[in-house]
Chains A and B, each alone.
Chain A
Amino acid sequence: MLQRTNYLSSRYGVPDGHRIEAYLRDGGYEQAKRALGMPRKTLVDEVKAANLRGRGGAGFPMGVKWGFMPPEPKPGKPHYLVVNADEGEPGTFKDRTLMELDPHSTIEGCIIGAYGIGAHAAYVYVRDELHLSKARLWGAIEEARARGFLGPKPFGIDYTVEVYVHSGAGAYICGEETALLNSLEGKRGEPRMKPPFPAQAGAFGMPTTVNNLESIATLPTILKLGGEAFSKLSALHGMRDGGCRLFGVSGHVKTPGVFECAVGLTLRELVYDLGGGVAGGKLLAVIPGGSSTPILRHDELVDAPDPKAPLHPWHGQSVLDVPMGVDTFRGLGTMLGTCCAIVLSERACPVMAMHNLMRFYRHESCGQCTPCREGSGWLERTLDRIVGGAGTLEDLDRLHEIANNIMGNTICAFGEGTAMPALGFLRKFRREFEDFVRTHGASSPRNLAL
């Protein structure tokens, strides 16, 4: 159900919308001030009621995550809020718009979030390449500090909050929360083994909550509307997947961009209504939420004959008509991820698309553990040969085997993030791959960009 909302993106396109004056005009920082006056439990309950599923890709309920933190910081064990803005997932560019066009919602969210988890310091870890984002966030911090919203006594309330922007150093893996923490500490950006989880020992060994930047920037809206009212914006409120969020669409669409809608939007609406339809030919497939989420073909149907299955209401319908939710898309065998879809037109070659992605994963594997380090490289080289026209069916049959051996055997989710899309492409496009191999590439449009 397409329902545009205007909470997170209301200052997008407003002249000087990133300045504090514009933010204050819209009632900015009132919710942070209110939050600092609330009992902590009330705040956490409000966020739990909002059913905000983490916007970074895993879709974990934000309020529940906060609940993992110790109720109060122990002496010598300060809590930290870390905001993940290492937006590096291919096809994803939503957090960037928030940082560039409305950085104050993030800063206000940091105040609320820090209070919610008992932290006095929030680190916003921003992807290295996003220079304007970093500048805008620092600018917003300075403006907020000048008004007394940050510092030892924000709004005159005795609860210190400081926000810092920390630049990444150009590694995709640092979007993984524990690799991010290592990088934040100045170490090599490699994921940590869990346990301990960040809520037990995160940044600098202290209890830490890592939240996606959009999740944090949504906090003022949650408090403004009230948790339950926020959740009810969503068509999937009943599946505890609440509120509104930023949807991105890119690739072969006429009007790529970021659109704020209530949760419950379908892929068809995202591609055709918001994205303006497929540019160049018909729709071939959609990668629903960043490159790590398995691809969906345009002609796939929902197979959920069991009346108890969560997807049963959509049984027999096109996957494009299923509301985009964390649990609905998991049911489809893919993931909602970052909710930023990449659209492939039928004039593009799925073999080359997979090759492109696998090159990315080989390049970005941190190399810490064996299956990902070596497996991603083997996938890439096998695809190199196939795309070069020298591949064999034996090579093709090796691909899923390599991906199977990465799956589940790695330290972090990067392994699955490589294996799942690989298996997705193979399963959905086996015929196209076989034709490509048999004809040495002659069957392919040999296009990726139109």
Chain B
Amino acid sequence: MPSIKIDGRDVPFEPGDTVMRAAYRAGIEIPHYCWHPGLSSPANCRMCLVDILPPPGRPALRLDILEWSAEKNDYVVAQKSKLQPACYMQATDGMEVLSDTSDEVAKARAAIQELLLLNHPVDCPICDQAGECKLQDYWLLHQRSKKRMCDEPVHKPKAVVFGPTIVYDAERCVMCTRCIRVCDEVAQNPVLDMRERGNRNEITVAPGRQLDHGYSLMTEHVCPVGALTSSHFRFKARVWFLRSARTVCQECATGCNAHLDYDPRDNLPYRYRPRDNEAVNKYWMCDEGMLSYGRATAGRMLGAHVGGDDASIDEALHAAKDHLRGCDPARVAIVLSAQHSQEDNFALLTLGREYLGVTDVFVARRPDGLGDKVLRHVDKNPNGAGVKALVGGDGPRPLAELVAAAQKGRYSHVLALGHDVDVDVAALKSAFAGLTGSIVIASHDGPLTAALRVALPACAWTEAAGTYVNAQGMAQPTEQVLRPRGDARPGWELVARLGRALGFAIPWKTPKELARAMRGAAGSEPTHATAGAVAAEVAP
């Protein structure tokens, strides 16, 4: 593999890489504002200027400048290197780059940094970006000098509403054009551009339009300074109080990797940020996904209920046990959830098939929605592929079939996971009204929790570690972010407790034990014979 040398360190690169990308791959930071790994390089911020040594035997390009000599009491002509933007220079084998080891580069960085702050309002105390602002970071790293321009800075529009999600402050803007390029290159919806010129220019929305495409929050995400703020996060938190956990977006089957930022003091989520994953979402998330962090608290089912009355988990488990005792496995339907994790689904499927001996498995899922060619998948469930793989064979049957069969009295019991459905809610209600027993474990309130008799509160994706299989078939883990709200417990744990209440020796009590069981089950589909045998033992 060809390589370049950055400050004496060998850095391999792939053909077509710029110096910046080669450094980025190697984990070397060359300071930059306008460059972004997922966007084109306009080389306009000039923060990434580096000194590229000429090939051996060739003279370096030098530029005449002036310096003041106190000794001579006159200017003297001095020279400086012609620096090059790392984000635009193609790496060539053997190229030698000076970045952190060149005084001239350090001088240039300090100068660019000073110029960027020249007309900046330095309103950090009221700026949402403070704490994660490149201007702040690079001032510390590369400038560390006081402001020398004492004139009134250039004033520009503030708090400009770009659209439903974004507010713009032109005075804080460094004109890196990342937001323009996100609209052009990622969202494929060129709604932003620059107007005016020189130090009076500003970002503007196309006349007669709003910044309202499906990826508008990515403009804020890529903004290296506080110029673009999200109307949802604006003035809500100081970022240094927030902690981040790695999670996976639940809004569709793409399974975008995300950071969920939360405040441990109030146990609340504050925002999503895309988590780079070249294989899934690259650097991006859609607006629906970005705003779905609210689902960690909104619409939650925080306590158990039995027949519409609030209950403790123990009471609900007791009621569930009573419901299921003596049921005929042939007349029991298991409903898995494309919205719950593999862990929850595995637990319920195992209880149903292996311990109860049930054969009829259905899946509850959110109905399909709008997709696009960027990230959004029409399947609005995070784990449909996972459920399909767990069930094996032809996969679970659609809920509509269960509703039709239940209407005819085919089933006496339903044991379900999840809350949303892709069937008519009234039909679901009337079909399930005649059941002898019905139990649902769910994180949110929904048609399923309303239609079934016993409901147990499960943790949302934020409250328990889990695995979700996206449409590409990639199993992606999530971390626990928040402490469970209300009485919520991990879905798989509730399943295990229900199993034990029914008298089964469910072996997994901890996430680790569950993971081991799941690894053991993977690839070895339970046969109906063994499932039947277990069911026979259970039957009274």
Q: B208 → chain A, closest Cβ, in Å?
A: 18
Q: For the complex, give the distance between the alpha carbons of A373 and B177 in Å.
A: 14
* A375 interface contact, C-beta 8 A: yes
Partner pick for B44 among A365, A370, A378, CB 8 A cutoff: A370
Complex-state Cα separation, A427 to B88, whole angstroms: 34
Instruction: Count residues of A near B (Cβ-Cβ below 8 Å).
Output: 39
In the complex with contacts A371-B115, A376-B198, A408-B82 CB distance below 8 A: yes
The reply on A442 being an interface residue by CB < 8 A is no
CA separation between A193 and B90, bound complex, in Å? Answer: 13
Contact A426 B112 (CB under 8 A): no
Q: How far is the CA of A61 from the CA of B199 in the complex (A)?
A: 35
Known: A193-B42, A368-B175. 13 other contacts (CB 8 A): A173-B197, A364-B197, A369-B44, A369-B46, A373-B175, A374-B199, A381-B149, A381-B151, A400-B67, A403-B65, A404-B66, A411-B44, A423-B65
B43 touches A193 (CB 8 A): yes
Least Cβ–Cβ distance between B30 and chain A, in angstroms: 15
Measured CA separation A408–B62 after assembly (Å)? 9
Interfacial chain B residues near A362, Cβ < 8 Å: 198-199
Q: Is A366 a contact partner of B42 (Cβ separation < 8 A)?
A: no
Q: Which of A381-423 contact B (CB under 8 A)?
A: 381, 384-385, 397-398, 400, 403-405, 407-411, 423
Asked whether any CB of chain B lies closer than 8 Å to the CB of A119, the reply is no
Residue of A nearest to B176 (CB): A370
Contact assessment for A370 and B112 in the assembled complex, using a CB-CB cutoff below 8 Å: yes
Measured in the bound complex, the distance between the Cα atoms of B194 and A171 in whole Å is 15
Please report which residues of chain A, range 254-308, place their CB below 8 angstroms from some CB of chain B when the two chains form the complex: none
Contact A367–B111 (Cβ < 8 Å): no
- B258: Cβ under 8 A from any A Cβ: no
Which chain A residue lies CB-closest to B111? A405
- Give the residue of B46, B83, B115, B197 whose beta carbon is less than 8 angstroms from that of A378: B115
A363 within 8 A of B: yes
Prevailing SS type, chain A contact patch: helix
CB within 8 A of B198: which of A188, A364, A405? A364
Contacts of A409 in B (CB 8 A): 46, 49, 83, 108, 111-112
Chain B interfacial residues counted at CB < 8 A: 42
Q: Digit string of B42-65 for contact with A (CB within 8 Å is 1, else 0)?
A: 111111010000000000000111
Q: Could you tell me the distance in whole angstroms from the C-beta of A188 to the nearest C-beta in chain B?
A: 7
Question: Using Cβ atoms and an 8 Å threshold, which residues of chain A touch B81?
Answer: 408
Question: Which B236-273 residues have a C-beta within 8 angstroms of A?
Answer: none
| Contact digits for A329-370, partner B, Cβ 8 Å, 1 yes 0 no | 000010000000000000000000000000000111111111
Q: List 11 A-B contacts (CB under 8 A).
A: A365-B197, A367-B199, A367-B201, A370-B175, A371-B111, A374-B115, A377-B119, A405-B112, A410-B46, A411-B43, A430-B74
Q: Is A367's CB under 8 angstroms from B175's CB?
A: yes
Contact (Cβ within 8 A) B83 A377: no
B44: chain A residues at CB < 8 Å are 368-370, 411
* Contact present for A171 and B197 (CB under 8 Å): yes
Which chain B residues have a beta carbon within 8 Å of chain A's beta carbons?
41-47, 49, 63-68, 74-75, 80-83, 88, 108, 111-112, 115-116, 118-119, 148-149, 151, 154, 174-175, 193-194, 196-201
Contact B116 A370 (CB under 8 A): yes
Q: Which of A362, A376, A377, A403 has the most CB of B within 10 A?
A: A377
By Cβ-Cβ distance, the 10 closest A-B pairs, closest first, are: A374-B115, A405-B111, A367-B201, A377-B199, A365-B198, A404-B65, A408-B63, A400-B66, A369-B44, A367-B198
Contacting residue for A408 out of B75, B80, B197, B199, CB 8 A: B80
Contact check: which of A370, A371, A398, A404 meets B148 at CB < 8 Å?
A398
Residues of B contacting A366 with CB < 8 Å?
A: 197-198
Return chain A residues, CB-CB under 8 Å to B80. Answer: 404, 407-408
List chain A residues, Cβ under 8 A from B197: 171, 173, 364-367
Tell me the minimal C-beta distance from A67 to chain B in angstroms.
22
Which residues from 33 to 74 on chain A have a C-beta closer than 8 Å to any C-beta of chain B? none
Contact B199 A365 (CB under 8 A): yes
* Inter-chain contact B66/A426, CB cutoff 8 Å: yes
Task: Give the complex CA separation of A69 and B56 in angstroms.
Answer: 29
Say whether A405 contacts B63, CB under 8 Å.
no
Q: Which residues of B contact A426 (CB under 8 A)?
A: 66, 75
Give CA–CA (A374, B47) in the complex, Å.
13
Residue in A closest to B174 when the chains form the complex, CB atoms: A370
Report yes or no: A427 in contact with B198, Cβ–Cβ below 8 A: no
Question: In the bound complex, how far is the Cα of B206 from the Cα of A188, in angstroms?
Answer: 13
Assess the B115–A370 pair: CB atoms within 8 A: yes
> Is A367's CB under 8 angstroms from B75's CB?
no
Chain A residues whose CB sits within 8 angstroms of the CB of B63 once the complex forms: 407-408
From known contacts A367-B175, A381-B149, A411-B44, infer whether A373 and B201 are also in contact, taking CB-CB under 8 Å: yes
**Once the chains are docked, how many angstroms separate the CA of A369 from the CA of B111?**
13
Assess the B75–A374 pair: CB atoms within 8 A: no
Q: Is the CB of A397 within 8 A of B68?
A: yes
CA distance A66 to B440 in the complex (A): 77
A124 nearest CB across to chain B (Å):
24
**Beta-carbon contact of A370 and B46 below 8 Å:** yes
Q: Across the interface, do A378 and B112 meet the contact criterion of CB distance under 8 Å?
A: no
* Residues B193 and A188 in contact, CB atoms below 8 Å apart: yes
The reply to whether B83 and A408 contact each other, CB–CB distance below 8 Å, is: yes
Q: Are B65 and A373 in contact (CB under 8 A)?
A: no
- Residues in A whose Cβ lies below 8 Å from that of B64: 333, 423
B115 x A405 contact (CB < 8 A): yes
Q: Which residue of B lies closest to A362 (CB)?
A: B198
A153-196 CB contact bits vs B (8 Å, 1 = yes)? 00000000000000000010100000000000000100001000
Contact present for A377 and B45 (CB under 8 Å): no
B462–chain A nearest beta-carbon distance, Å = 41
A88 to B351, CA, bound (A): 81
A377/B111 in contact, CB under 8 A:
no
Cβ A385 vs Cβ B199 within 8 A: no
Cβ–Cβ < 8 Å partners of B67 in chain A: 400, 404
**Docked complex Cα distance between A333 and B49 (Å):** 26
A427–B112 alpha-carbon span in the complex (Å): 24
State the CA gap A397–B74 with chains docked (Å): 11
With a 10 A CB-CB cut-off, give which of A373, A398, A423, A427 has the most chain B CB atoms.
A373
Say whether B68 contacts A400, CB under 8 Å: yes
Q: Which of B66, B118, B175, B200 has the most CB of A within 10 A?
A: B66
Give the shortest distance, in Å, between B46 (CB) and chain A (any CB): 5
A397→B47 CA distance, assembly (Å): 24
Whole-angstrom distance from the CB of A420 to the nearest CB of chain B?
8
Knowing A362-B199, A369-B44, A385-B151, the reply to whether A188 touches B112 (Cβ < 8 A) is no
Contacts of B193 in A (CB 8 A): 188
Chain A neighbourhood of B65, CB < 8 A: 400, 403-404, 407, 423
Q: Which residues of A contact B68 (CB under 8 A)?
A: 397, 400
Residues in A whose Cβ lies below 8 Å from that of B83: 408-409
With the chains together, A381 CA to B149 CA distance in Å?
9
A192 to chain B: closest residue by CB? B42
- With a cutoff of 8 Å between Cβ atoms, the chain B residues found around residue A407 in the complex are 63, 65, 80
Chain B residues, Cβ within 8 Å of A423: 64-66
Within the complex, the shortest CB–CB distance from B186 to chain A, in Å, comes to 20
Contact between chains at A367 and B66 (CB < 8 Å): no
**CB proximity of B180 to chain A, nearest CB, Å:** 10
A188 to B43, CA, bound (A): 16
Q: Chain B residue with minimal CB distance to A396?
A: B68
Residue of B nearest to A404 (CB): B65
B267 to chain A minimum Cβ distance, whole angstroms, is: 42
- Is the beta-carbon distance between B46 and A377 smaller than 8 angstroms? no
What is the CA–CA distance of A366 and B175 in the complex, to the nearest angstrom?
11
What residues on B are CB-neighbors of A403 within 8 Å?
65-66
Cβ B88 vs Cβ A193 within 8 A: yes
The interface residues of chain A lying within 8 Å CB-to-CB of B148 are 398
What residues on B are CB-neighbors of A364 within 8 Å? Answer: 197-198
Please, which residue of chain B has its CB at the minimum distance from the CB of A410? B46
